[in-house]
């Protein structure tokens, strides 16, 4: 079984990014288990590192127990969301005990337009490379939620084949990194 930790950078109930993550999960190959991290964490405060909050411990465990990490990010003001950065900051600590180092990863994002999440993803990629993750380069997914989701939040139309091919490529990326270890 291949386990993927999923970090969705929106807490919104009807989040397009959560719908995209669920769409990727539903179109993924056999033998893959998606585990969604609880992203509703306290704000990072270095004073709390001496006694990590339970939710911060939990997200570190979700990432550490996974074979790969899928980052699903909205774009807020031409960057990725504070929710995403806060979760990354927690799981990257304490110093020397980052949960991310060496893990295979991919970034996708959904917005309401064709150009959305390009800048969010590019900035997030920079952070993940710093954290020494093995970030998949292609295919990139800049998902247009208006044309790509139906009213129930299911991936529809031409997007389905594309999201399926992304899911296959990502799982292959994660599995090849695991076999190289």
Site string for ligand FNR, 32-71 (x = CB under 6 A): ----------------------------------------
Rounded to a whole number of angstroms, the minimum distance from the CB of residue 116 to ligand FNR is: 3
Choose among 125, 134, 53, 135: nearest CA to 94: 53
Dist. CA 179–CA 181, nearest whole Å: 5
Tokens of 143: 């998902």
The number of residues that bind ligand FNR (CB under 6 A) is 15
Q: Which of 29, 35, 40, 78 binds ligand FNR (CB under 6 A)?
A: 78
Q: Which of 10, 99, 121, 159 binds ligand FNR (CB under 6 A)?
A: 10
Residues 102-131 that bind ligand FNR (CB under 6 A): 110-113, 116
Rg of the chain's alpha carbons, rounded to an integer?
15
Tell me how far apart the 2 most distant CA atoms of the chain are, in Å.
49
Q: Which of 12, 29, 42, 146 binds ligand FNR (CB under 6 A)?
A: 12
Where do contacts with ligand FNR occur on this chain (CB under 6 A)? 10, 12, 15-17, 74-78, 110-113, 116
């Amino acid at each position: 079984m291949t386990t993927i930790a999923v970090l969705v950078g929106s807490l919104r109930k009807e989040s397009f990014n959560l719908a995209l993550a669920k769409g990727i999960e539903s179109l993924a190959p056999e033998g893959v288990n998606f585990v969604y991290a609880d992203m509703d964490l306290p704000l990072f405060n270095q004073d709390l590192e001496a006694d990590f909050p339970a939710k911060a411990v939990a997200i570190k465990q979700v990432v550490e127990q996974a074979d790969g990490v899928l980052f699903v990010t909205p774009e807020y003001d031409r960057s990725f969301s504070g929710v995403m950065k806060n979760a990354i900051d927690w799981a990257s600590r304490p110093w020397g005990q980052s949960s991310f180092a060496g893990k295979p990863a991919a970034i996708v994002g959904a917005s309401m337009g064709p150009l959305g999440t390009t800048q969010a993803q590019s900035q997030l990629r920079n952070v993940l490379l710093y954290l020494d993750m093995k970030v998949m380069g292609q295919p990139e997914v800049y998902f247009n939620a208006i044309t790509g989701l139906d009213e129930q939040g299911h991936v529809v139309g031409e997007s389905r084949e594309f999201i399926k091919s992304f899911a296959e490529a990502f799982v292959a990326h994660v599995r090849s990194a695991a076999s190289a270890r």
